[in-house]
Structure 1
Amino acid sequence: MLPPMLTEAVCLLLLVSLSKAQTTYTISPTRPCSNISLILNKAPVGVSFEFFAFPGWQGLESTETCLGNLGVLSGALPPVRIGGTTQDRALYDPRLKQAVNYSVASPLDAPASLTYGPSYFNLASHYGGNVTFGLNRRLAQLNNSILAAEKAINTIPSLYALELGNEPDLYGASSPIAQKEGGGKWTPVQDANSQVHWQASVSKASGRTQLIQAGVRLQPQNGWSVAQLAPVEVSSDSLSYVRSFGEHSYPQSACGGSATHLNTLMSHSGIVSYTKQYRSEAAVAHSAGKPYFLSETNSATCGGGGISSTFGAALWVVDYVLQAMVNGVQALNFHHGTLGNSPYDWWGALLDSSTNKWTNYTFAPYYGAVFVSAALAGGSRVASLDDGTSSYAVYAVYDKKGAPMRLVLYNSDYYDGTSSKRPTHTFTIKGLKGAVAPGPVTAVRLTSHAATDKVEAGQNPSVAGLQFNNVTCRAQGRPALESVKVQDGTAQIEVKASEAVLVELASGLTDWSGFGRL
């Protein structure tokens, strides 16, 4: 069983806001007893790749370095999940010479059907981090998925788990799986029974237990949830086949012309409200003795519309990851879709329709991934220190001994650059006398001109003063480290609207200069 959420006897004292321009927090020298994560995974910030596009992602020069940068910060390569909508359109062909075979009218389209061959698995076989591999269930071809499962097990040394189907809530009554196993109907209960059947069949054929990542797209209002799925797993005695539970979740939608809103996305109180739903789901998974992941997530469905490549989305990544951790999520895989047609990607390429040429970019959200990976690196727990009702967030990362090692300060006030005066908020942190050595502490910023900035528009953010090459994803520049005065155990840090600051409470925690030489 996993450790409980609440284990500490000493609670944090949170002081009320003094004014709109300043808030005061008192940090305890030991871990608080509430709003705190489980023990952190070594690399909790991961990536998901759309199934048909995975070979294209592997062909980018930047992919290895972008993942490697996060690995340098975390001390372990980020987890990778290969799946998405097209995994449920894909069939394995052991005779196929190329990695993947499909036909589309435009390189920006996703295929309606595809096949993949043995060399597809080879693309994932050299990755040193955990790999979760998605298999087709919608087409109801169990033997084909068993064949692919056996190939994945034998080819990918770092295989963590297999996912059987992508988002079963989208299958519908007319899907082959519903016709074959659901009697022409498809509900969460029928899906759960199907998952259990497939888990046993794939696992027994492979001679493996603890092989499957079970889950759904989280829609508790419609019955799709781990809370609904897990009891079926328990009653059917299928938990031995399940290694973890993973759900898909997106706070906004860009599908069908739906409007997206950046100020809402990056709002701290909004993020707190949205991520609360994970707590009960995580509790169910943990009570079954299994980890709970967001196996596919990002800012908005259908690629994210006009908001997902902005600097505001980078800030959202930071707050969303930390708040998810506090609510029991143990790792998140941020989805990367069709190359050139998926605005929420962290890196990739865009096609200029006038010249028909591709241009590579390392997009703004990647800076948030770097920042939050650095914040969590080497930590044991992360706690939320504010009450979640304002624009201002304070997190503390604690080491294995329960001492605070870093703070994350986030000002989610929306700044779009149209005002000549950018508001600033002062965070006053007390209680540092017993938490840090005498003298100043070091801070770095995640910053840009405005929340609306986009790298592809020539508006480059920075993290710790560094930027990332658009072609190679290598860090560029000299680290910008700030010295923060601590007087009588109190420090004051100014954070601009739409900006975040990472405060190191101990020396030698993040080697930004070494990272800059990657």
Structure 2
Amino acid sequence: MARFAAILVTVLSVGYVRAIAVPSTTPSGAVSVDPSLVSVSIEFFAFPGYTNITGTNNCLANLATLRGAQPAVRIGGTTQDRATYNASLQTAVNYTVASPADAPTSLTYGPSFFTLANGLKGDVTVGLNRQLNNQANTLSAASLAKSSVSRLLALELGNEPDLYSSSSPIASGTGWSNSIDISNEAKWFTALAPTLGNIFQGAVYLSWNTSTLVSGIGSAALATIKTISRHSYPQSACGGASTNLPSLMSHSGIVSYVSQYKAEATIAHNAGKKFFLGETNSATCGGGGISPTFGAGLWIIDYVLQSALIGVDRLYFHHGTISNCAYCWWGQSAVYSPYYGAVFVSEFLGADGAKLAALDNGTSAIAAYAVYSSANAPLRLLVVNTNYYNGTGTRAATTVQFTGLTTASGTKSAKRLTAPDATSRTDEGAQVTIGGNGTFSGSCVRQGTEGTESVAVNGGALTVSVLASEALIVYL
């Protein structure tokens, strides 16, 4: 042991080499992974438009093929609290905007909205209006959602009530606060549950801690809650705020950021509720310049896995106004750089991945993970080099040596996710690839031949090299 420790110190002192031991069986810190861990949120008013995009079904199907389960879809966002149900409306939605890039300030929606939602193949969460304080209207819509959406998981009443104000209709002129919202959610849930069942998604907070709702809403209302939702955006692009790609994709930064949700997840689980990041993405207000980049795709990989490790059951990545959405994964006729990260992390987890383990201590730019089978055998390794490379100067590589493999000698295969640099955008012509030549068509159909690299195993160890702003899966 002393001799190995001395060797390890020597190896690590080089600076660009990491030596990592792979537990031969599932380690104690490993966590179970929901098959729909990587899921999607779609802005309420834009949802019908997304169902008309061929890429929507194809992009979701690609993830389903890799994980063996459909991604869940949450339909909601700011415009759910601007929407009024109209049972006589012949179209799914009706609104007027000055520009197609705008979101409506008010809208109506009809029964066919839920017909479209029923066409989704995974779990569906529908967000409905609470801010306008029209409980009867919301109940009418919720009743139709319950009866017509066969895969309905939950109903969400209100979006980000922490952003409501004393002038919001729901406040009724008495002010607004976290405690008032908790009381209001309790009143709505207990009033509607006799008709709808215990099917509500609670909290839906951007800034308030969801634990306050779980502990303060009371046992009767808590019994009506099926899932707990927290919204999460590491950065903001609102009001001219600046975003920073190196900070977004930093592994140690991601580890630190997601740690804030661990206590909330634990409290939700102790109450028997699933804990979701029910709306999330790289930055608020669409994400600005960082969100369409390859670096954001690498962030997705690390962010998803770190979130799972602290107890997040699912992450719903938000998709906003079609053709005006920097953080979206696809559009009318294009697939964007971040989607490659969603695909790559889904391939790493696979349909057979039962438990996830972190293999690094979270303090450097190098992220290393292992996924284990239900039989407790290691299946795949993942390295994400989150060192930022913007295309100038030397693109440094980090060498990672994995030791303790059950295979003493031979070869393993590896697949690489790469791009010219972290700022690469497919919508600007840059080529992001999986396995050397794998890409996606404008309608999200996989194209090109994905190749693998051969990695030699000697003495139960293998060594891989991963460039700055790149990721690699090793298949064991």
- TM interval, short-chain normalised: over 0.9
Residue 102 of structure 2 corresponds to residue 102 of structure 1: no
Counterpart amino acid of 2:103? A
- Per-residue CA distance 1:209-260 (angstroms, 9 max, x = gap): 2x011123242xxxx1111110123x34222211111110000000000000
Q: Which residue of 1 aligns with 2:424?
A: 453
Q: Distance in 2 between matches of 1:156 and 1:99?
A: 14
* Residues 243/423 of structure 1: CA separation in 2 closer, same or farther (3 Å cut): same
Q: Which residue of 2 aligns with 1:516?
A: none
Distance apart, 1:290 and its partner CA: 1.0
- Per-residue CA distance 1:83-126 (angstroms, 9 max, x = gap): 00000000110000011000000000000000000011111112
Q: Distance in 1 between matches of 2:185 and 2:472?
A: 43
Residue 181 of structure 2 corresponds to residue 198 of structure 1: no
Q: 1:24 aligns with which of 7, 19, 26?
A: 19
Q: 1:404 aligns with which of 369, 375, 378?
A: 378
Residue 146 of structure 2 corresponds to residue 153 of structure 1: yes
Q: Secondary structure at the match of 2:155?
A: strand
Q: Secondary structure at the match of 2:99?
A: coil
Residue 181 of structure 2 corresponds to residue 215 of structure 1: no
Q: Secondary structure at the match of 2:347?
A: helix
Q: Which residue of 2 aligns with 1:509?
A: none
Counterpart amino acid of 2:159? N
Q: Which residue of 1 aligns with 2:213?
A: 229
Counterpart amino acid of 2:442? V
Q: Which residue of 1 aligns with 2:4?
A: none
Q: Secondary structure at the match of 2:383?
A: strand
Distance apart, 1:51 and its partner CA: 0.3
Counterpart amino acid of 2:210? V
Listed as ranges, the matches of 1:156-195 within 5 Å are 156-179=149-172, 183-195=173-185
Identity of aligned residues (%): 49
Q: Which residue of 2 aligns with 1:514?
A: none
- Per-residue CA distance 1:174-233 (angstroms, 9 max, x = gap): 100011xxx521111111111111111222122x12x011123242xxxx1111110123
Q: Distance in 2 between matches of 1:418 and 1:335?
A: 32
Q: Distance in 1 between matches of 2:381 and 2:330?
A: 27
Listed as ranges, the matches of 1:80-99 within 5 Å are 80-99=73-92
Count the aligned residue pairs.
466
Question: Could you tell me the TM-score, scaled by structure 2's length?
Answer: 0.96
Q: Secondary structure at the match of 1:128?
A: coil
Question: Could you tell me the TM-score, scaled by structure 1's length?
Answer: 0.88
Q: 1:443 aligns with which of 390, 414, 417?
A: 414
Q: Which residue of 2 aligns with 1:462?
A: 433
* Cα pair 1:397 1:406 within 8 Å, conserved: yes
Q: Which residue of 2 aligns with 1:414?
A: 388
Listed as ranges, the matches of 1:41-80 within 5 Å are 41-80=34-73
* Cα pair 1:254 1:260 within 8 Å, conserved: yes
Q: 2:324 aligns with which of 337, 341, 345?
A: 341
Distance apart, 1:467 and its partner CA: 3.8
Structure 2 segments unaligned to the other structure (5+ residues): 1-7
* Cα pair 1:336 1:342 within 8 Å, conserved: yes
Listed as ranges, the matches of 1:105-504 within 5 Å are 105-179=98-172, 183-206=173-196, 208-209=197-198, 211-219=199-207, 224-233=208-217, 235-349=218-332, 360-377=333-350, 378-419=352-393, 421-432=394-405, 434=406, 436=407, 439-504=410-475
Q: Secondary structure at the match of 1:427?
A: strand
Q: Which residue of 2 aligns with 1:11?
A: none
Counterpart amino acid of 2:264? E
Q: Distance in 1 between matches of 2:108 and 2:436?
A: 44
Q: Secondary structure at the match of 1:272?
A: helix
Q: Distance in 2 between matches of 1:437 and 1:26?
A: 14
Q: Distance in 1 between matches of 2:105 and 2:206?
A: 24
- Per-residue CA distance 1:47-97 (angstroms, 9 max, x = gap): 100000001111111111011000111111101000000000001100000
* Cα pair 1:262 1:312 within 8 Å, conserved: yes
Q: Secondary structure at the match of 1:400?
A: coil
Counterpart amino acid of 2:118? S
Q: Distance in 2 between matches of 1:225 and 1:332?
A: 17
Counterpart amino acid of 2:295? G
Q: Secondary structure at the match of 1:439?
A: strand
Q: Secondary structure at the match of 1:345?
A: coil
Structure 1 segments unaligned to the other structure (5+ residues): 1-14, 350-359, 506-518
Distance apart, 1:470 and its partner CA: 4.0
Q: Distance in 2 between matches of 1:467 and 1:481?
A: 11
Q: Secondary structure at the match of 1:215?
A: strand
- Per-residue CA distance 1:330-385 (angstroms, 9 max, x = gap): 11100000011110000004xxxxxxxxxx21000000000011111221111111
Counterpart amino acid of 2:223? S
Q: Which residue of 2 aligns with 1:357?
A: none
Distance apart, 1:471 and its partner CA: 2.5
Q: Distance in 1 between matches of 2:259 and 2:245?
A: 20
Q: Distance in 2 between matches of 1:383 and 1:19?
A: 26
Counterpart amino acid of 1:418? T
* Cα pair 1:466 1:475 within 8 Å, conserved: no
Q: Distance in 1 between matches of 2:44 and 2:437?
A: 32
Counterpart amino acid of 1:409? V
Q: Distance in 2 between matches of 1:218 and 1:406?
A: 34
Distance apart, 1:43 and its partner CA: 2.0
Q: Distance in 1 between matches of 2:443 and 2:120?
A: 18
Counterpart amino acid of 2:388? Y
| CA RMSD between the two structures | 1.3
Q: Distance in 2 between matches of 1:201 and 1:372?
A: 41
Q: Which residue of 2 aligns with 1:515?
A: none
